């Protein structure tokens, strides 16, 4: 089937839920940029402020056709401006932009934006309704406040590594940046809440999300059980089951599912036994029936197991490799990923395509999300400084000569 493609400059005329919202992004790497991209897909105008070409992920691999895959994944659809905010005229431009914006999103270490002169009080002085959204590793207060942080650090300190590695001799690191993603979702939700509050009251505010706090939310049940029992015996019910030619995962958590599972496996007599047919965590026979399930799967290919359990309305999924995921038609029909055309420095298609996230996975029936193109470095300087802030050509050329914009 044909693959969905990111539309170039033109966007749909349909209204979106965040039309009219303008967000200034002072952010690097993943957590905050992923959050603002979600909001951009919902209609917000996101203006990414870049200081220097190598200051973000633009120069971080891996690369496809000269484009950083990471930069493309977290920044498509945004507007890129380049301004040196250390320069007095750069600071002035920044605050002029704040006057006409709704939110500022940053993910520096606590205290950094204050040292830059862009703290919440400074922003409020020019725009009392502004929302400042801050993402950091450990939060704006607490013993770890000033420590450097990246996603793997939070996987270690939240307990996720040990929980994932149970049964092994060491903690196991998740392959994807799950802590960046968790923080991105929480700060995006926070911005939406702050916008709603401002709609009602006219009042802006400062919101913050710590990546470690987000990591803790993934272990709430395990933490509660350990708090109560003093042990770390709680285990989630999910597991991978080996088949003849691969692996599957299944879960029979609800009433009736294990009854159907046992019948599919040929244990109709056990299916009539309430102890064996009980939901997950509700029987002492759980280990016995799981052993039966393991043996049943080991004797069959993945497709036979999957088809049988789907027919019995039991949750099941093949453990797919990344190449297999790319071949899955469901991914393409849902537009979870899309192709984007790459361009040369002159703006002409260079014949290469890169895979980027599709529009926000939130599907609106009346206000659909869209995926925009990958911005070039400083591509929107004239659009923002000229069109939005009203600078003329002489002003822009002067700023270029002084190195305020590049």
141: buried, middle or exposed (CB in 10 Å: 19+, 13-18, 0-12)? exposed
**pTM attached to this predicted model:** 0.90
Supply the pLDDT for residue 276. Answer: 85
Domain shared by 386 and 306, yes or no:
no
- In the DSSP assignment, the letter for residue 335 is T
Q: Are residues 87 and 34 in the same domain?
A: yes
Task: Classify residue 367 by its DSSP letter.
Answer: S
Give CA torsion, residues 30, 35, 37, 38, to 10 deg: 140
The token duo for 141 is 């207060």
Looking at the fold, whether 199 and 279 belong to one and the same domain comes out as no
User: What's the total number of domains in the chain?
Assistant: 2
What span, in angstroms and rounded, lies between the C-alpha atoms of 366 and 16?
A: 8
Q: Determine the Cα–Cα distance for residues 258 and 278; give it in Å rounded to an integer.
A: 7
Q: Do 129 and 207 have their domain in common?
A: yes
Tell whether 314 and 394 lie within a shared domain.
Answer: no
Is residue 228 a part of any domain in this protein?
A: no
* pLDDT of res. 10: 44
Give yes or no: residues 197 and 66 share one domain: yes
Domain membership of residue 226 (yes or no) is no
| pLDDT value at residue 237 | 62
Residue burial 62-86, b: 16+ Cβ < 10 Å; e: rest:
eeeeebbbbbbbbbbbbbbbbbbbe
Please state whether beta strands 246-250 and 240-243 pair in parallel, antiparallel, or not at all (unpaired). Answer: antiparallel
| Containing structural domain, residue 286 | 247-324
Q: Give strand pairing partners of 81.
A: 49
| Residue 136: predicted pLDDT | 96
H or E segment and range at residue 45 = strand 45-50
Q: Which two tokens stand for residue 35?
A: 């959050």
Eight-class DSSP state of 132: E
> How much is the pLDDT for 162?
84
Task: Tell me which residues of the chain have a pLDDT lower than 70.
Answer: 1-2, 7-13, 53-55, 166-167, 236-237, 280-282, 345-346
- The verdict on 282 and 148 lying in the same domain is no
Residues 280 and 149 grouped into a single domain = no
Among 324, 357, 388, which residue terminates a domain? 324
Distance CA 393, CA 236 (A): 62
CA atoms of 305 and 45, how far apart (whole Å): 47
176 close to 100: Cβ distance less than 8 angstroms:
no
Cis ω on the peptide bond leading into residue 62 (within 30° of 0)?
A: yes
Q: Domain with 262 in it: what CATH number? A: 3.30.1540.10
- Residue-by-residue DSSP string for 207-218: EEEEHHHHHHHT
Are 61 and 154 in the same domain?
Answer: yes
Please give the structure tokens belonging to residue 313: 């309305």
The reported pLDDT for the residue numbered 62 is 92
Active site residues: 180
Among the listed residues 175, 296, 172, the one whose alpha carbon sits nearest the alpha carbon of residue 243: 296
Whole-number pLDDT of residue 282: 66
Question: What backbone torsions phi and psi does residue 208 show, to the nearest 5 degrees?
Answer: -145, 150
Torsion (CA) 327, 368, 176, 376 in degrees, nearest 10: 100
Report yes or no on 387 lying in a domain: yes
* Shared domain check, 201 and 131: yes
What CATH number has the domain bearing residue 28? 3.40.50.10540
């Amino acid at each position: 089937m044909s693959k969905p493609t990111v539309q170039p400059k033109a966007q749909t005329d349909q209204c979106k839920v965040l039309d009219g919202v303008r967000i200034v992004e002072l952010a690097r790497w993943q957590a905050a940029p992923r959050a603002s991209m979600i909001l951009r897909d919902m209609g917000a105008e996101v203006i990414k402020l870049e200081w220097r070409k190598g200051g973000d992920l633009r120069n971080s691999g891996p690369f496809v056709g000269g484009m950083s895959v990471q930069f493309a994944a977290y920044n498509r659809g945004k507007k890129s401006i380049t301004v040196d905010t250390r320069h007095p005229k750069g600071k002035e431009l920044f605050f002029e932009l704040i006057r006409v914006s709704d939110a500022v999103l940053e993910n520096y270490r606590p205290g950094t934006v204050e040292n830059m002169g862009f703290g919440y009080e400074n922003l409020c002085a020019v725009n009392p309704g502004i929302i400042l959204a801050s993402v950091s590793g450990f939060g704006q207060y607490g013993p770890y406040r000033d420590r450097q942080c990246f996603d793997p650090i939070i996987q270690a300190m939240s307990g996720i590594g040990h929980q994932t590695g149970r049964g092994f001799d060491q903690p196991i690191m998740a392959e994807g940046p799950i802590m960046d993603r968790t923080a991105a979702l929480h700060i995006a939700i926070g911005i939406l809440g702050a916008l709603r509050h401002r709609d009602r009251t006219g009042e802006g505010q400062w919101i913050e999300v710590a990546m470690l706090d987000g990591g803790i939310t993934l272990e709430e049940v395990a933490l509660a059980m350990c708090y109560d029992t003093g042990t770390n015996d709680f285990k989630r019910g999910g597991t991978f089951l080996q088949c003849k030619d691969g692996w599957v995962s299944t879960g029979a958590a609800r009433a009736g599912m294990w009854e159907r599972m046992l019948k599919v496996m040929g244990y109709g007599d056990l299916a009539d036994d309430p102890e064996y047919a009980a939901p997950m965590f509700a029987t002492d026979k759980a280990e016995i029936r799981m052993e039966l399930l393991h043996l049943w799967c080991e004797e069959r290919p993945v497709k036979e197991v999957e088809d049988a359990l789907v027919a019995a309305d039991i949750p099941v999924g093949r453990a797919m490799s990344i190449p297999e995921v790319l071949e899955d038609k469901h991914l393409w029909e849902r537009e979870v990923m899309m192709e984007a055309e790459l361009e040369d420095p002159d703006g002409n298609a260079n014949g290469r395509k890169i895979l980027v996230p599709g529009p926000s996975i939130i599907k609106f029936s009346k206000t659909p999300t869209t995926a925009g193109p990958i911005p070039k470095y400083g591509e929107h300087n004239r659009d923002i400084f000229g069109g939005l802030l009203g600078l003329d050509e002489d002003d822009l050329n002067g700023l270029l000569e002084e190195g305020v914009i590049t």
